[in-house]
Amino acid sequence: MAERVFITGVGMITAIGDDVAGNLHSLRSQRSGLGYTEYIDTIYRQVLPVAEVKHPSESLFALAGVPVKEGYTRTTLLGLIAMQEALRDAGIEDVQSAPTGFINASTVGGMCDTEKVYFDIIDPEKTGTFLQYIDTLDCADCTQRIADIVGFSEHIATISTACSSSANALMFGARMIRQGMLPRMVCGGTEALTRFTLNGFNSLKNVDKQFCRPFDQQRTGLNLGEGAAYLVLESESFAKANNSRILAELSGYCNTNEAFHPTSPSPDGDGAYEAMKTALAMSGHSLEQVEYINVHGTATLNNDVSEGKALERLFGDKVPLFSSTKPFTGHTLAAAGAIEAIYSILAIRHGLIFPNLNFSEKMEELSVTPVTQLLEGYPVNNVISNSFGFGGNNASLVISKYEG
Amino acid sequence: MKGKCYIQGMAAISPQPTFEGDIFQAPLVHTDSNLLACIEPDYKPFIPGNSLRRMTRTLKMGLTAALKCIQDSGISSPGPIITGTGKGSLQDTEKFIKEIVEYKETALNPTPFIQSTYNSVNGLIALQQKCTAYNNTFVHRGFSFENALLDSIMMIQEGASHTLTGAFEEITQEHFYIKSRIGCWKSAPVNSQDVYQQLSPGTIAGEGATFFTLTDAATPQSYAAISGFRMLYKPSEEKLATTLRNFSQSADLVICGRNGDSNHEHYYEVMDACFPGVPQLPFKHLCGEYDTAGAFGLWLGAWILKAQQLPASWFPMQEQLTAPVHSILFYNHFFGEQHVMLQLERV
Amino acid sequence: MEELKKKLKEQIIEALNLQDTKPEDIDDNAPLFGEGLGLDSIDSLELMVLLERQYHIKVEDPREGRKILQSVQSMAEFITSKQPA
């Protein structure tokens, strides 16, 4: 029988905090990270809200503990900060101390920096240090720079399945552990805001000019965010032998494709339904044992209908408490799955249910509404965390309390 | 790697006439532009006109290679769909970057943005095939296709009877120029068929879309078995040599990614030393260098194992096979960073 | 209005790359989406881009867009209503 997979370390940086403790504090204070961009050169600076990490890239070098150097993109720096916290949190001083793999996730690689110099790069008349950024556009760049600094030399990979990327990274790492390929994996994703992505989602007409309102009748779209998050996964036998502190168990997961439309989910949430149902079945827990669902909840017209319908189909009239934390962090795309997996662990370990900010009016298509108040001291044993993306790529994770 | 998996179907769109016809009779396509571009097939038999009208080159090549592979395998439902691509649809990425500036961030057409997303080909295959199974896309330079292969082998270990596993890459003129600025390509024009004799910094660019149907059991139609697999990230020469020696003792033939690039030739010399006297087939003069060229090399090895002959015009330097080939060692690396070895066996 | 509709049809064919369709194949009142021309929601976004680039009319709300983009007739009427008399 395949081994259980435990989470033994977490690290993150988002618009609401530079580390896990900072994130927890903002979640508890119900302080949103949404605002307006300081660092992207766009005509939408004062128009489209985003959840930006509150440091210019130059300051991120210090937070990441590396000297300022050309070629390190914001994507890499955010990732490095989260990675170092995750390793510290898991008590790993040297990743070479045990065979350790690294599965990263990214949607647009180093586009945040490349887009600023792209027209110089393609202009034969121009030359300069910007040429150091030529190879940073692809998604492997951030993964390899992080790997090289931290010292990963076993398995490395980068996944890109749009908004479900880091959920798939966690799943892939967990599967490698269960197959006995490696005892320890660090998995997650990193995403920096870009003009490219902002205009992309705006061209799809699904960015809200107000702060995003998941599951609200009046919602008109998402707000983008940035950040990075990594989780250290260990096999049960390794964690026990290593005397690791176990934060929670990654007890179930499912990846499914909806095969419905290039960018939209099906109106009845077939893919979301299947992903949640299969992930929960794998975890061995029943519908009644799920206390909280951290929904994908992007606040686009289509996602929330589809995901809400899937919740009602799966749980009937007993839909558990659910909320979208995207009004705190924005939609961080490749990082979202890992960020929300950490929030799920925080919910379990601190007995918290996070509020779905900005909700006021029930959607006409649904009978359920999200949690709007912070709940403290609420026993949480099993959380479903959803990440659904373009191309019909759906992923659900089940994170469970570790009982010893 | 535990167990084996089998190649039940495959298809390749490449700079050679690989999509249709008999590759053992095919001529050698070559160029002195340092860029080997794909011979694109007629897409209409594969993709309805209404879907085709929006698609750019990579999407058409990826989807069509996938559909042809499904046909070739005789397995109608593709099961898990897992792909690798280093760069995705460059044409769409370039277009969207430029339109943002040209239209000053207003009135932007969303199609290039949607299609620039790395998982868009995977989504299209699933959509076209109504396939709701597992679906994943890896985007890691010379480990893109290889991680897709690893994921597929894991899927089969976990109980899937088969997977659709592939890779796709395009090279645009603009990206060719960008990469030339950091010395990826040879500075003077080289005839692609002479690339191995022209040892100098840089290589020649290429592209391609290659798909495989992998199964858990062999059938009379199987092309080959994949029985061993290792990836090494930035290894030392010593580690590479040790790993290669332990990896394969009994190769009848070596297929390698040698590409005339003097910056990274020493890794292939390490390989030469590990397999003295074993006949060697390099393949980059056929497809050029790109992130997922390894998929083309695997396709070639699988054909040779099944047909027990070499495509004669493609390998004028190599004599035709005199003894049966039972086992092939495949070794490739991408600009010295991602190293891959595969063991292929005759079924 | 007739002139506008003819031009619109040509622009739609070009913008959406409808290679096998000629302007005379498109009926003024036939639905553009679903059954009619078989367009989808991405085409609808592209048509809104067409309105913005060619006629300088911005449609913000996708729900409003769906009404305007029902047919060539409804598009032409909308454009006419937005133009100064």
Token pair 């070739």 in the structure block, residue: B72
pLDDT more than 90, % of chain B: 95
CB contact under 8 A, B119 and A204: no
User: Can you tell me the mean pLDDT for A327-345?
Assistant: 98
CB contact under 8 A, C49 and B108: yes
| Contact indicator for B137, B85 with CB cutoff of 8 Å | yes
pLDDT of residue C85: 58
Q: How far is CA C41 from CA B116, C45, C66, in A?
A: 18, 7, 9
Reduced to 3 states (helix: H, G, I; strand: E, B; else coil), residue B172 is coil
Tell me, what's the ipTM? 0.97
C61 has pLDDT over 80: no
Domain count within chain C: 1
Chain A nearest-CA distance from B66, in A, is 15
Chain B nearest-CA distance from A392, in A, is 6
CB contact under 8 A, B106 and C52: yes
Burial of A122 (0-12, 13-18, 19+ CB in 10 A): middle
> What's the pLDDT tens digit per position in A184-217?
999 999 999 999 999 999 999 999 999 999 999 9
What confidence tier does B312 reach under pLDDT thresholds 50, 70, 90? very high
pLDDT of residue B20: 95
List, in sequence order, every residue forming a beta bridge with A253; answer none if it has no partner. A397
Among residues B82, B312, B311, B61, which one has the least CA distance to residue B208?
B61
A38 has pLDDT over 70: yes
pLDDT of residue A391: 86
d(CA B301, CA B293): 13
What single-letter amino acid sits at C84?
P
pLDDT more than 90, % of chain A: 95
> What's the pLDDT tens digit per position in C51-60?
999 999 998 7
d(CA A48, CA A35): 9
- Interacting residues of A24 by C-beta distance below 8 A, sequence separation 6+: A17, A346, A350
pLDDT of residue C20: 84
d(CA B240, CA B271): 8
And the tokens for B247? 């990896």
The number of C-beta contacts closer than 8 angstroms across B and C is 27
User: Can you tell me the mean pLDDT for B316-323?
Assistant: 85
CATH number at residue C62: 1.10.1200.10
User: Which of A44, A199, A203, A205 to substitute to test the interface with C, most C CBs within 10 Å?
Assistant: A205
User: Can you tell me the mean pLDDT for B246-261?
Assistant: 93
DSSP A280: H
List, in sequence order, every residue forming a beta bridge with A5; answer none if it has no partner. A235
> What's the pLDDT tens digit per position in B189-216?
999 999 999 999 999 999 999 999 999 9
User: Which of C42, C48, C59 to substitute to test the interface with A, most A CBs within 10 Å?
Assistant: C42
User: Can you tell me the mean pLDDT for A31-41?
Assistant: 98
Chain B nearest-CA distance from C81, in A, is 20
What confidence tier does C83 reach under pLDDT thresholds 50, 70, 90? confident
B61 has pLDDT over 90: yes
| Contact indicator for B17, B23 with CB cutoff of 8 Å | yes
Apex CA A247: angle with CA A244 and CA A250, to 5°?
105
d(CA B139, CA A158): 5
What confidence tier does B319 reach under pLDDT thresholds 50, 70, 90? confident
> What's the pLDDT tens digit per position in C6-43?
999 999 999 999 988 899 999 999 888 877 788 888 99
Q: What are phi and psi of B242, to 5 degrees?
A: -60, -45
Q: H or E stretch including B302?
A: helix B293-307
On chain A, the residues whose CB falls within 8 A of the CB of B177 are: 122, 124
> What's the pLDDT tens digit per position in A253-305?
999 999 998 888 999 999 999 999 999 999 999 999 999 999 999 999 999 99
What confidence tier does B1 reach under pLDDT thresholds 50, 70, 90? low
d(CA A374, CA B33): 64
> What's the pLDDT tens digit per position in A151-162?
999 999 999 999
DSSP B119: T
Q: How far is CA B345 from CA A352, B207, B324, in A?
A: 55, 26, 11
pLDDT of residue A318: 97
List, in sequence order, every residue forming a beta bridge with B212; answer none if it has no partner. B10, B165
CB contact under 8 A, A263 and C60: no
Among residues B258, B79, B62, B101, which one has the least CA distance to residue B158?
B79
Q: What are phi and psi of B31, to 5 degrees?
A: -150, 155
Query: What's the CA dihedral at A232, A170, A57, A54 to 10 degrees?
Result: -90
> What's the pLDDT tens digit per position in B104-129?
999 999 999 999 999 999 999 999 99
Domain that holds residue C16: 1-82
> What's the pLDDT tens digit per position in B166-189?
999 999 999 999 999 999 999 999
Helices assigned H by DSSP within A30-158: 57-64, 74-89, 111-121, 140-150
**Mean pLDDT, chain A, as a whole number?**
97
> What's the pLDDT tens digit per position in A75-102?
999 999 999 999 999 999 999 999 999 9
Residues in chain A: 404
**Mean pLDDT, chain B, as a whole number?**
96
* C-alpha count within 13 angstroms, C-beta hemisphere, residue B38: 26
d(CA B25, CA A358): 67
User: Which of B56, B109, B114, B124 to substitute to test the interface with C, most C CBs within 10 Å?
Assistant: B109
Q: What b-and-e string marks burial along B109-120, b requiring 16 or more CB atoms within 10 Å of the CB?
A: bbbbbbbbbbbb
Report the phi/psi class of residue A269: left, alpha or beta, with left for phi > 0 and alpha for psi in -120 to 50: left
A1 has pLDDT over 70: no
What confidence tier does B39 reach under pLDDT thresholds 50, 70, 90? very high
CA B149 to the chain's CA centroid: 11
CB contact under 8 A, A393 and B119: yes
Q: What are phi and psi of A303, to 5 degrees?
A: -60, -50
Provide the whole-model pTM. Answer: 0.97
Chain A nearest-CA distance from B302, in A, is 25
On chain B, the residues whose CB falls within 8 A of the CB of C16 are: 53-54
On chain C, the residues whose CB falls within 8 A of the CB of B105 are: none
Residue among A196, A255, A262 minimizing CB distance to B120: A262
- Interacting residues of A321 by C-beta distance below 8 A, sequence separation 6+: A291, A292, A293, A353, A371, A375, A378
Reduced to 3 states (helix: H, G, I; strand: E, B; else coil), residue B165 is strand
DSSP B29: P
> What's the pLDDT tens digit per position in A107-120?
999 999 999 999 99
| Contact indicator for B210, B61 with CB cutoff of 8 Å | no
- Catalytic annotation, pick one of A163, A187, A212, A254: A163
